[in-house]
Structure 1
């Protein structure tokens, strides 16, 4: 007879170990019914509207983003754009190249849109100020005035936020620096104007911000030409063609106190073109001990510039460039005025002064 095996109940420790092993080896099953899971997933994936409506909403959102980022090209009326809402860095437009641009626009339209910004307090119909594209705008305006073609009444434009671009002055300069180099004088001029209009604390800050990508030496040169504009900008008639080395010599003379003498000679009205104007300046530089010439090479004779004051008993030259000459004939005396500053308004004022003195006796 076989011996019976004695059975023992598992201890609490054994039961815990068995249950833990069971949990590890048995996969977890969600107690939720399958139909409830499907319904939940369908609810999460549901989007209102038809597929076409959802597509239109997505496209509208993308358009709004592109418009805010300045990536949308618009058609803006030529009469809505103020080309000089900020002073332009470009002071001279080459007539021949402008005519070529007009011809191209007449055939193909404006290929590259201009850049504008919304004016906060628009005057009359001018809603936008120009940042870049001055030549394109002027060329299309000229074409529209000549032809009156309806397709030229509007111009392609991108509306920008100047503050996001580092300011309107900076954006304008960067555009022209990339597409067509500015002259040394134009760089200095626009930096000085930007500072004068309060866009920057001073000219130094304007040059640093507007020409931040330039080397330290180049920024130093720009500051020199900015000083020339600040001290002689109202007297110079042909500054754009000034060579770099000549401008630096002129800036050095200004630092040495030559402003008054330079204004005196430039006011004589003898600078009728770029060469004669520079000849006047060079004469003053020679007086200051800097003629910039190699004496062995010769060259044109130096210009003799008359100084202010009496020249004999009948000629008086003023520091503003006006020359007064006394003449006489059988009919009496004549006062003849000449020079750059002479105008109809000046003569009328002088006649009134003379009238007052004659009536007083």
Structure 2
């Protein structure tokens, strides 16, 4: 029979020796990782005093507000004059009052530029900006810098805007001048015609309705009449911006009545030296056209006819001063469908 060994508890001295041995053999890194990380972080962290914590929170909040202001176009920047392209958008203003410009330059000299201009960042290499509003302010600063060479006039304060597209930039430019009531009747019609011609809007009709959306229906109708004047006689009239409302509406009526050729002939024979003599050249033809029924193909609000199809597509035909247009509307209308329809139209017309 095997002899059983009697187990005895270690003495206190033996337990101390065992603990010492374990401590020497076990590395510090065998501690649980989270405990080690917490210990190191506690060793490195330095308590921040109450006032410093408040200042840090304030700095963080200020940085957030600054980023939001920049994103929303509310941040005033200082931009070199040379980096701003004033004619990036066709300007809506034709007339510049010399006395007003003198007063503006004197004000800037005395008090600095109080109101910043509005710009948007241009695409392409380099840092440059297109002007939205503030053409007179920018011109005054450039004149002062050219005259004095003073570095104070080499930079201009500007709000950086982010218009969604070129049509939005035109709206912003026109709205600023509308608020100040600075545009003449002709200038309003002209910018609508030019913006449509440059592709910012699908038609003059759309340009007028978008640029002057806050105007009454009657006022938009008058703007369209002055747009007709620009389209037909803009290159011939020397004092178009001086046309009053009544004279302009009479002239537009004559153009719609088919007198465009005769009016151009009258102006080509010799332009007037001032608004009165220029009007005297064309007034006989305007009087001759009065009472004559307008030609529906000579501008004004386009006439529309449309019909809906079972496919959900709506086909709409328009007629205006430029001719006829066919528009297709609906969720199923895409580039491939339009291309197919163009081929069918070509085959039909060739046959």
Tell me if both proteins adopt one fold, taking TM over 0.5 as the criterion. Answer: yes
Aligned to 1:12: none
- Verify the 8 A CA contact 2:167 2:200 in the aligned structure 1: no
| Residues 42-83 of structure 1: per-residue CA shift (max 9 Å, x gap) | xxxxxx986243332221121001110111111000111111
1:261 aligns with 2:265: no
Aligned to 1:173: 174
1:117 aligns with 2:91: no
Q: Secondary structure at the match of 2:242?
A: coil
Aligned to 2:217: 216
- Verify the 8 A CA contact 1:79 1:126 in the aligned structure 2: no
In the superposition, relative to structure 1, how do residues 164 and 271 fare at CA in structure 2: closer, same or farther (>3 Å)?
closer
Write the distance in 1 (CA, Å) between the matches of 2:170 and 2:130: 12
Between Structure 1 and Structure 2, the one with more helix by share is 2
Larger CA Rg, structure 1 vs 2: 1
Q: Secondary structure at the match of 2:241?
A: coil
In the comparison of the two structures, how many residue pairs are matched?
Answer: 243
Q: Secondary structure at the match of 1:235?
A: coil
Write the distance in 1 (CA, Å) between the matches of 2:207 and 2:134: 22
RMSD value over aligned CA atoms? 2.1
In the superposition, relative to structure 1, how do residues 141 and 262 fare at CA in structure 2: closer, same or farther (>3 Å)?
same
Aligned to 2:111: 108
Report 1:196-345 matches (<5 A).
Answer: 196-289=197-290
Aligned to 2:62: 59
Write the distance in 2 (CA, Å) between the matches of 1:143 and 1:88: 22
> Which 5+ residue runs of structure 2 have no aligned equivalent?
1-46, 293-351
In the superposition, relative to structure 1, how do residues 77 and 282 fare at CA in structure 2: closer, same or farther (>3 Å)?
same
In the superposition, relative to structure 1, how do residues 289 and 188 fare at CA in structure 2: closer, same or farther (>3 Å)?
closer
Write the distance in 2 (CA, Å) between the matches of 1:188 and 1:239: 11
Write the distance in 2 (CA, Å) between the matches of 1:270 and 1:153: 40
Aligned to 2:337: none
In the superposition, relative to structure 1, how do residues 166 and 57 fare at CA in structure 2: closer, same or farther (>3 Å)?
farther
